[in-house]
Structure 1
Amino acid sequence: LPHARGYIFQEGEILSPDGHCHAFDHRAQGTVFGSGAGVVVLRRLEDAIRDGDHIWAVIKGTAVNNDGAAKAGYLAPSVDGQAKAIAEAHAVAGVPADTIDYVECHGTGTYLGDPIEVAALTQAFAASTPETGFCRIGSVKTNIGHLDTAAGVASLIKVALALKHRELPPSLGYEAPNPAIDFESSPFRVNDSLREWVSHKGPRRAGVNSLGVGGTNAHAVVEEAPERAPSDPSDWPFQLLVVSGRSKAALDANARALAAHLRAHPEQPLADVAWTLKEGRRAFEHRRVLVAASHTEAADLLEGSDPRRVFNHQHLVDDPEVVFMFPGGGAQYAGMARELYATEPVFQDWMDRGLDVLQKRIDYDIRALWLPEPQDHARAVERLKQPSVQLPLIMIVEHALAQLWMSWGVKPAALVGHSMGENTAACLAGVMSFEDCIGLVHLRGQLFDSVPPGGMLSVPQSASALEAELGEGLDMASVNAPDLCVVSGPQHLLDALEARLRARDIEPQRIQIDIAAHSRMLEPILGRFEAYLRSIRLNPPKLPIISNRDGATLSAQQATDPMYWVGHLRNTVRFADCMASLIAANPQRVYLEVGPGKALGSLAQANGVPASQVINSLRHPEHDVPDDVWFVGTLGRLWANGVPVDWEPIWGEARRLRVPLPTYAFQRKPYFIQPGVATAPAQEARPAHIDDITRWGYQPRWRPRTADCEIDVATELGQTEPRHWLVFADEAGLTDAVSARLREAGHRVTVVRAGDLFARVAEHEFLLAPERGREGYDELMRELMASGHPPQAVVHGWLVTREERFRPGSSFFHRNLEQGFFSLLFLAQAMAEENLPKPMHLTVLSTGAVRVKDEP
């Protein structure tokens, strides 16, 4: 809004002679204009009460009329017209005048306007009560000036706040009454000091008077909000709090403001705060979630940002696809998901069903090993190392977790498992029944118990490099990432391989298992495994499963073929291929590890998935956080990534109320243009007059010249220290040649091409959609910073074309803006957000900028 620049007082005009508004005062000679706006939210009272809204005040009745035709002049106020509007508002509200404690007047502070307004109020009130001196009046114009068309809403807001706080704020600039106002015989007195608002006849009520030029008169009767029933106790001992912002700076500021508010308002139920944050606030791109049991804990977490308790995500797309990842053997720990079993009925029911099925197959108490008493914990840990004990328990926990997630509205778009985890995926997809899958996995564990001892070695090498080292007797058990494999076989051969690798400074790691899984050592047990598979019903999958065998989607023929599953037990787990297929299909998927630990989440990141898109359902065994707290936090992290979840299990049927919370922390920037300093023009001699009219103008022309220098580009680049060049490639091939020259000279080059979405298509090549604004540029910078190679120079060639044309969906003008001005602007903003070193060398190439040699 424009700054007021003062005014020159003129006798007889509306403006005050001293710069102050003295409403109802003996000094009243004019008003002062202010600058502002006001916003209120209106709802039907019953709807607001039903939905638990915070109600500041209730508008009981309103009336508006126009008496312009009955007045002598356009600007002249009228007693009768105002009085009729006030009386009508009382009638609509159904309240007598003597129940109104306060009137917020139009109160402009003019010598004639104030007496006419008070006379109109007196006339309207006197029609229903002879009482005098019971009602206070005031004007917010004495505080903030006359806001013109916003003056009425400012008055309404003042009254609503006064009702809420049960205090009458003073009307400023008042010493003695305007002698033209007969206060003694009226119901009114000027409220010249702060007073407690004591109700004398029922609920506190106020009138709001607002008058317009030309004869418009408006009046409203406003009443204090009804006492609302308190919210219900929460079903949860802790609450999930969500905060968001349009930028990281705004997110941090919103978090700080919320922390301060929580410390200042411990009376607000934390469940109501959580509900208001989620249901009463718009969710922006930058999001933060945390779980806390008290106001103090929540404030501490918001201020401290402990990465183990406070999670930050950037919402990239709406409704991203979710991939359920099921870990295999070795992920178990005693007591996993203990609190979920105690608090989540869906999880408990599926666990009980699975454990009952398993219990019939074994001669020990599986529940005592899963959830041991403290004195039995060490024994349970040892027993859970046995394949026939751990594998079926892991599978049951994974399946129960998957069912729990789906009950909360999290639906998988694809399933992937690692080794035994693919059996869980097959069960969830309907390939085999729950009971048959438990039997299969238990048999798998029993067969593992019977094979000769072996081992597994994790090696940080690519499969192609490692295969040459295996020789006879060793097998590639799994290819987990492009540079991470696992080898299986007899212990003595693994010892020899490990020694050879360490001699070449390669650091392999032994996996704490005495089974050579996915190797030739399992061949003696494959017959029994096949026999069981042929005894159960196998069905086509109802959900996409990414196969460990080849990284492709499991076909119906594969799923129903017992030999596929036999080969799955024996052959290499190609998890890296699985991840490559998933990422290629959609790089913005969210990967949810459905099972104990975070091994698959780590492998997903090793395959190029950003850490913020990888979430694990259960805590690490050494992480001292209850399982249900972790699970609800995970739910919040899914929401922060844009995954739609069902919040009803959190809110339940308990009545929740919206509570006042800090408003959005806008990142303000001043845009006022400072006025120039007035200076007297210098006395200058008149320029010489040119008589020849043909010399009054000019036209630029381009004349080609041979360059007067010789540059050997290859030599120049070769003598320059290698840098990381970010090249925005054109479609004419010019920048491709530039990139090639740079690479030949030893420079690192990352190419960005215009496309329809943001994606990484190769190690040093990205697609970016110029039509989608800044988001792609931010993601590009994050990817480059995460790789450890920030750009050191930029070549921007998106405006280079063989001929002038535009991309589909953009006009020629918009194409030039998107791929030119805005592209450079968003790139600069994204680089500034990452605090890249300054200055940054930027070369911009363009064609068609100017006309040369009379070309068309």
Structure 2
Amino acid sequence: MDHKQSQIQEAEHAKRSYGSLLNVISKQYGSRDTQYADFSGECYKAVLEECYKKAKIDPSEVCYVEADGCASMITDAMELNSISEVMCKNRKTPLPIGCIKSNIGHTEAASSLVSIAKAVIALRSGIIPPNMHYDSPNPNVPALLNGVLQVVTEPTPLTGNIVGVSSIGMSGTYCHAIIKQNPKVKPTKEPASPIDFPWLVPLSGRVELALNTVFEKIEAMPFDEEFIALAHSIFKTEIKQHLFRGYTLLNAGQQRVHEVKPYDGAEKRPIWFLFSGMGSQWTRMGVDLLRLPTFAKAIRLCHDVLLPKGVNLLEILYSDDPNVYASSILHSFVGIAAIQIGLVDVLKELGVEPDGLVGHSVGELGCAYADGCFTAEQMILSAYARGRASVEATLIKGMMAAYVLKDVINFLGLGYNQIKDQLPPEIEVACHNSEFSCTLSGPVEDMKKYIDTLKQKGIFAKLVNVANIAYHSKFIKPAAPALLKYLKQVIPEPKPRSKRWVSSSIPEALWDSELAKYSSAEYHTNNLLSSVLFEEASAHIPAKAIVIEIAPHGLLQSIVKKSLSKCTNIPLINRFEKDTLKHLFQAIGKMYLGGIDVNIGNLYPKVDYPVSRNVPALHNLLTWDNVKGELISSFMKNKKEGSVIHSWDFIKIYDKRIQNFLGYKINNMEVIPPTVHLVS
């Protein structure tokens, strides 16, 4: 029986097995002409005997029976005497029996479901819940008097693995089900995590306080990967009217990590991938992430592709040499590309697909991969080609520097439009980063002089690690022929770029040109030569988009947090974090907070379903104040404000939809029949 859908399923499709239904029987012996049947012990015995015979089960194997117990002494005696005669013939110990009606009353049409629920609790916990209000045995049932049948009045251990559940209808319907316990059990000793990275657990709920309480309970629980797998399967898609989302990281060290935020699911927010370029590389980047199988697989693929070229990618990534990238532009290109391939593969594994793509400089190779224009092999080889062409070409000693000017009162921009007419002839604007930031490129000596001039005005530069090559300027042109040649070998049949990919290397006025249509060798060679139009391209990112920066470091965060201030900007990696893999999982958690449905379970070892029967139930985490007698409200969202409002639905007796319910009374009071609650 499936934990989520509350319906009978084939075991192979169920996430949780509350028990196996070995057999069920239902027979009608009454007459339609009479309101109530004359209950027959012979008929009931025949039903029980047939049920166990067809299941090929000896009734004496049953360790507990949940009886119907309709509170009529005559009918109860008939039922119990029949049970005794059929199920206690060869029994050596008393047969425990019970009836949930003594605890909660008669739930009418729902009574069979409640009885099954009680039986399931017994099978799952190994403890039979006790009957309340049982004072003395029915004198018409000898088996109660001599102890052959034993009413459970205290929590009692279940001694076997098969229970029976009976139900009797007032019109003469006799039903019986045989349920067997799920045999799969986890060891009582707390297991160690089979992986050495954090377990990300997402949850959603209606109330923030309750969600925080649930997280505290989960964080205090013994580690249980099957429980986490259940949470992953349930919360991988949106649950309607859940107005808060949160996540926690388990096994994330001593520091407690969980976050809860309001969630307005009124409309799906667009997802944009942002690929950074040069400057995002750093020593030992990506090493933490190699603990993640999906990422490690991508890096291994890139390593194997590059090895015949004489490039040992793993050696580069693991190197402690602080100059491993500064001394080799080729190392930088292939390192950045490999990290981006691995991160895109992780996002694909999570089921996260972009609505838009923007790349900064060489980051457009990442766009090509995410857009399906490149294979992983083509992307890493294109990065290698860019590095090789740069190394082989005869180039002047160049420099690149990024500028942002800020004063205390206002953000003042040093963007392209402000600086283009102030530059010396040899210096070009290589990158239009935003209205307040740009990157300059040119010969080293000219750049140093201009940097000193700007310093005197209070404008400071951040040098970009480009191995003394003036990219995106006229000084890189000697590398273009070789790059075009190498890229044509890598991309023999260019694929068309989709509309998702917003070009940052071709002006918008030329987006319909032949050059702009394909992710071709010509397109990516043009990227090397042209200014990076990131400011113009990022203007196409809609407000309230979720912008995911895919790079070895969130290089562009200082820019996009201002230029895309209405968006949610999430860098996947921060080089300054002690554990960048932990930061990646927090970034995935923030995606979930923002409304992205992520299939987190795909990143972890697969669990064999159904889970063990002693795996904690998710519903047990929910809290409810039973002392307060409050009207239960439904929750709706104010779509304009994103706030929560409470509302109640009142039933009007003149409503045509409920006319058939009128006249139903209990204790002379007109009430809604209990059956309604099954479908409400």
Band of TM-score, shorter chain: 0.7 to 0.9
Partner of 1:543: 497
Contact kept? 1:317, 1:642, Cα under 8 Å: no
Q: Give the SS at the match of 2:210.
A: helix
- Shift in CA distance, 185/446, structure 1 to aligned 2, threshold 3 Å: same
Query: Separation in 2 of the partners of 1:141 and 1:596?
Result: 62
C-alpha contact (below 8 Å) 1:65/1:216 kept by paired residues: yes
Q: In 1, distance between residues paired with 2:530 and 2:205?
A: 48
Q: Mind listing any 5+ residue stretches in structure 1 that lack a counterpart? A: 1-37, 674-772, 783-856
Q: TM-score, normalised by structure 2?
A: 0.73
Cα 1:616–1:604 shift into 2, 3 Å: same
The Cα shift of 1:153 comes to: 2.2
How far, CA to CA, are the matches of 1:259 and 1:191 in structure 2?
39
Aligned to 2:166, the other structure's residue is in SS state strand
Tell me the amino acid that sits aligned with residue 554 of structure 2.
K
SS, match of residue 146 in structure 1: coil
**Secondary structure of the residue that 1:64 maps to in structure 2?**
strand
The answer as to 2:457 corresponding to 1:491 is: no
Which residue is 2:220 aligned to? 263
Instruction: Map 1:365-764; keep pairs closer than 5 Å.
Output: 370-372=317-319, 377=320, 380-386=321-327, 388=329, 391-398=332-339, 400-401=341-342, 404-405=345-346, 408=349, 414-422=356-364, 425=367, 429-430=373-374, 434-435=380-381, 437-444=383-390, 450-451=396-397, 455-459=401-405, 460-461=412-413, 462-467=415-420, 469-470=422-423, 474-488=427-441, 490-500=447-457, 502=458, 508-511=460-463, 517=470, 522-530=473-481, 532-533=483-484, 537=488, 540-544=494-498, 545-550=501-506, 552=508, 553=511, 555-558=513-516, 568-569=527-528, 571-583=530-542, 590-608=546-564, 610=566, 612=568, 614-617=569-572, 619-627=573-581, 629-631=582-584, 634=587, 650-652=603-605, 655=608, 657-658=610-611, 659-663=615-619, 665=622, 672=631
- Residue 347 of structure 1 corresponds to which residue in structure 2? 298
Distance in 1 (CA, whole Å) between partners of 2:522 and 2:40 is: 96
Q: Distance in 1 between matches of 2:427 and 2:396?
A: 19
Q: 2:203 aligns with which of 244, 252, 256?
A: 244
Gaps of 5+ in 2: 406-411, 645-680
Map Cα deviations across residues 531-557 of structure 1 (whole Å, 9 max, x no partner): 543675276453344333455358542
Q: Per-residue CA shift, 1:303-338, capped at 9, x if unaligned?
A: xx3xxxx999766766x7654433222211000011
SS of 2:280 mapped into structure 1: coil
**Corresponding residue number in structure 2 for 1:815:** none
Alpha-carbon shift at residue 579 of structure 1 (Å): 0.6
Q: Secondary structure at the match of 2:438?
A: strand
Match of 2:672 in 1: none
Which residue is equivalent to 2:284? 335
8 Å contact kept, 1:101–1:204 = yes
1:168 and 1:666 mapped to 2: Cα distance? 23
Give identity over the alignment, percent: 17
SS at match of 2:227: helix
CA spacing shift, 1:220–1:430, aligned 2, 3 Å: closer
* 1:194 to partner: Cα distance: 1.8
Counterpart position of 2:649? none
Higher normalized contact order (CA 8 Å, seq sep 6+, divided by chain length): 2
Once residues 230 and 4 of structure 2 are traced to their aligned partners in structure 1, the CA distance between those partners, rounded to angstroms, is 20
Question: Alpha-carbon deviation of 1:276?
Answer: 0.8
Alpha-carbon separation, structure 2, partners of 1:402 and 1:554: 30
| SS of residue paired to 2:338 | helix
**Which residue of structure 1 aligns with residue 17 of structure 2?**
55
SS in 2 for 1:158: helix
- After superposition, the C-alpha distances for 1:257-283 in whole angstroms (9 at most, x for unaligned) are 24314524x2xx532122111124554
Note if 1:223 corresponds to 2:180. Answer: yes
Larger Rg: 1
Q: Tell me, yes or no, if the aligned pair for 2:553 and 2:574 is still in contact at 8 Å.
A: yes
Compute the displacement of 1:389 (Å).
5.2
Deviations 1:752-809 (A, max 9, x none): xxxxxxxxxxxxxxxxxxxxx9474246x89xxxxxxxxxxxxxxxxxxxxxxxxxxx
Per-residue CA deviations over 1:208-227 (Å, capped at 9, x if unaligned) read 23222222222233333334
How much has 1:624 moved relative to structure 2?
0.9
Aligned residue number for residue 755 of structure 1? none
Q: What is the alpha-carbon distance in structure 1 between the residues aligned to residue 580 and residue 557 of structure 2?
A: 20
Does the CA contact (< 8 Å) of 1:526 and 1:566 recur in 2?
no
Task: Render the CA deviation track for 1:573-606: whole Å, top value 9, x for unaligned.
Answer: 22111111343xxx56543323211023443333
From 155, 163, 166, the counterpart of 1:209: 166
SS at match of 2:322: helix
Shift in CA distance, 215/657, structure 1 to aligned 2, threshold 3 Å: closer
Q: Deviations over 1:346-392 (max 9, x none)?
A: 323343146436647xxxx87655422xxxx3xx2245334635543
Contact 1:455–1:488 (8 Å) recurs in 2: yes
Q: Return the alpha-carbon distance in structure 1 between the equivalents of residues 59 and 519 of structure 2.
A: 83
> Hey, what does 1:157 align to over in structure 2?
117
How far 1:158 sits from its partner (Å)? 1.8
Which residue is 2:665 aligned to?
A: none
| 1:276 aligned onto 2:225 | no
Hey, what does 2:657 align to over in structure 1? none
Contact 2:399/2:470 (<8 A) preserved? no
Per-residue displacement from partner, 1:620-671 (whole Å, max 9, x unpaired)? Answer: 22201154x4445555555665667676753455635533333274899977
- Contact 2:330/2:387 (CA < 8 Å) preserved in 1? no
Q: For the structure 1 residues 125 and 442, does the alpha-carbon distance in structure 2 shift closer, same or farther, using more than 3 Å as the test? A: closer
d(CA) in 1 for partners of 2:522, 2:5: 69
Q: Is the 8 A contact 1:517 1:570 kept in 2?
A: no
Cα distance in 2 for partners of 1:288, 1:110 equals 51
Tell me the secondary structure at the aligned position of residue 109 of structure 1: coil
Q: TM-score if structure 1 supplies the norm length?
A: 0.59
Query: Aligned partner of 2:538: which letter?
Result: M
Question: Aligned equivalents of 1:456 and 1:448: distance in 2?
Answer: 24
CA shift in 2, pair 1:472/1:499, >3 Å = farther
Q: Which amino acid aligns with 2:120?
A: A
User: Which of 757, 777, 797 in structure 1 is aligned with 2:640?
Assistant: 777
Change (3 A) 1:496 1:667: farther
* 2-structure distance, mates of 1:575, 1:174: 77
Decide whether aligned partners of structure 1 residues 566 and 176 sit closer, same or farther in structure 2, where only a CA change above 3 A counts.
closer
1: CA distance, partners of 2:421 / 2:112 = 84
**Whole-Å separation in 1 of the counterparts to 2:99 and 2:369:** 72
Task: Rate the CA distance shift 1:160–1:447 in 2: closer, same or farther, 3 A.
Answer: same
Which residue number corresponds to residue 656 of structure 2?
none
Aligned 8 A contact 2:68 2:168 in 1: yes
Aligned length: 600
User: Cα gap change, 1:775/1:170 in structure 2, threshold over 3 Å: closer, same or farther?
Assistant: closer
The whole-number CA distance in structure 1 between the counterparts of 2:394 and 2:629 is 70
Contact 1:239 1:274 in 2 (8 A): no
Pair 277,443 (structure 1): closer, same or farther in 2 beyond 3 Å: same
Q: Distance in 1 between matches of 2:545 and 2:195?
A: 30
Give the 3 Å change call, closer, same or farther, for CA 566–671 of structure 1 in structure 2. Answer: same
Q: Residue 177 of structure 2: SS of its match in structure 1?
A: strand
